[in-house]
Amino acid sequence: MRKMMVLATSMLLALSTTLSYAQKVKGSDTCLPLVQKEAENYMKGNAKHSVTVIGGGSGVGISALIEGSTDIAMASRKMKFDEKKKINEAGKSCKEVTIAYDALAVIVNPKNPVKNLTREQLSDIFTGKISNWNQVGGPNMPIVTYSRETSSGTYEFFKSSVLKEKNYKSGIMSMPATGAVVQSVSQTPGAIGYVGLAYLNSKVKAVAVSYDNGKKYVEPTKENALNKTYPIVRPLYLYYTLNKKATVTPFIDYILSNEGQKIVSEIGYIELSK
């Protein structure tokens, strides 16, 4: 009997050493480059844990969380009341975790000479009141507006902060991913769009923005977000249901750790400690 107990104990120990966790993370394209890098580094130190990260938009991630097809939802906006209600109706409770902050940048084609825009001008452009760059000091060239899809948290945040809840213009070019916005703006001389800070590159030009009717224009940089002079800044979230807490907590704790927050800075977002 004792030999059998020893054998059983040995088998349990062997099983525990091979125990692995596979978790899915889905949602916000703004969070995507950050959480992908966090997962990559996390798995280097946790070989038995597998973390798969895909985008699609905040709404897509939260819907997947409600359906139970993802373990963690990434979001660049807060979960809505009706979304929380659906989770509660499924007999689950949800936890919200802020992992970083992001400055939302307005981008134009590098050939466009316009460098500054007020919030009011941006609102008029994206609602259709302004349709030519010569109306804001630029060349005689039609404005082509690019936006994220309605399921995107970035779409909703831009509507709230910049448009002040006015509706986007009809016929606006809705892109399925943030990378598609960058690519489209880089290839279209009259284009304008908006992206998270980590998506800025040399193929597009970020414009300085004024929220005080043109008295002061501020560029979208990490430094300006940190010193609170840049006005378009929002938190980034992870959501999970409490029944998955044991599985997802180690990865989330890693993101919140000093090492994880260092990655936040490296990617180009703003750490929580700041």
Does the pLDDT of residue 102 top 70, yes or no? yes
Q: Give the pLDDT of residue 47.
A: 85
Residue given tokens 């084609």 in the structure block? 109
Residue 6 in this model has a pLDDT that exceeds 90: no
Give the chain's mean pLDDT.
91
Does position 53 have pLDDT exceeding 90, yes or no?
yes
Chain segment 87-100, per-residue pLDDT in tens:
999 889 999 999 99
What's the pLDDT score for residue 19? 54
Percent of the chain with pLDDT over 70: 92
The Cα 122–Cα 140 span in angstroms is 17
Q: What is the pLDDT of residue 104?
A: 94
In this prediction, residue 48 has a pLDDT band, given cuts at 50, 70 and 90, of: confident
**pLDDT at position 274, please?**
55
pLDDT at 8 over 80: no
Mean pLDDT of 32-37: 96
> Does the pLDDT at position 13 exceed 90?
no
Please give the residue that has the higher pLDDT: either 203 or 90.
Answer: 203
Range 69-82 burial, b when 16+ CB lie within 10 A, else e: ebbbbbbbbbbeee
Could you read off the pLDDT of 112-171 as tens digits, one per residue?
999 999 999 999 999 999 999 999 999 999 999 999 999 899 999 999 999 999 999 999
